[in-house]
């Protein structure tokens, strides 16, 4: 029955992100969010390593030293910062490229949904920022992308969901941003 519990977890996560994206006018992103999780490459691994309290990707990583599901997922979903890591032709090495604003906003929604999904009744609006801060020194994020994500997570922690979503809708997601093609 692990497969059933995993399906319920990803459905709940997708529903939450969809609800947030719809609230912000990002209808297409809400509908398409994380569809790769339903394909065999990600779903079968997720069902095998399902625990219910954290991402099954961490369990696969502990078992194998890497996670095939995550490598597949991050390469197909533009709301993940890892999708935007590329070679820096000027300085060499890898760096985070600037993410289009609509994907930064979707990433913000994704972080709230993941925190809600794994913390259920104990969730509060500080959790997405706390989770982000635990790993932030290891992320390869473009400075502008990082500044926007951190601003939104801090606003959520300090002012709550309603005020943060109103700010995003009014100040961040302009008509041009919503229509941006990438």
In this prediction, residue 178 carries a pLDDT of: 58
Distance separating alpha carbons of residues 60 and 51, to the nearest angstrom: 11
| 132-173: pLDDT as tens digits | 999 999 999 999 999 999 999 999 999 999 999 999 999 999
SS3 95: strand
Nearest to 10 by CA among 60, 47, 59, 64: 47
In 3-state terms the chain splits into helix, strand, coil percentages (rounded to 5) of: 70, 5, 25
Domain boundaries, the chain: 2-179
Question: What is the helix (H) or strand (E) element at residue 86, kind and residue range?
Answer: strand 85-87
| 18-72: pLDDT as tens digits | 999 999 999 999 999 999 999 999 999 999 999 988 889 999 999 999 999 999 9
Please state the pTM of the whole predicted model.
0.92
In this prediction, residue 108 carries a pLDDT of: 98
Identify which has the larger pLDDT, 180 or 54: 54
pLDDT band with cut points at 50, 70 and 90 for residue 180: low
In this prediction, residue 75 carries a pLDDT of: 94
Distance separating alpha carbons of residues 106 and 155, to the nearest angstrom: 16
Average pLDDT over residues 93-121: 95
């Amino acid at each position: 029955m692990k497969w059933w519990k995993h399906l319920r977890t990803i459905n709940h996560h997708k529903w939450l992100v969809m609800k947030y994206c719809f609230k912000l006018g990002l209808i297409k992103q809400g509908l398409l969010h994380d569809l790769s999780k339903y394909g065999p490459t990600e779903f079968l691994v997720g069902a095998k390593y399902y625990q219910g309290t954290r991402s099954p990707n961490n369990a696969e990583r502990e078992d194998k030293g890497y996670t095939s599901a995550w490598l597949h997922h991050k390469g197909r979903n533009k709301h993940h910062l890892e999708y935007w890591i590329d070679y820096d032709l000027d300085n060499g090495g890898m760096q985070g490229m600037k993410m289009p604003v609509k994907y930064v906003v979707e990433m913000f929604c994704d972080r709230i949904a993941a925190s809600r999904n794994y913390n259920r009744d104990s969730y509060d609006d500080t959790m997405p920022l706390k989770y982000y801060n635990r790993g932030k020194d290891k992320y390869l994020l473009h400075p502008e992308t990082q500044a926007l994500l951190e601003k939104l997570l801090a606003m959520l922690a300090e002012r709550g969901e309603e005020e943060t979503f109103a700010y995003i809708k009014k100040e961040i997601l302009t008509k041009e941003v919503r229509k941006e093609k990438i």
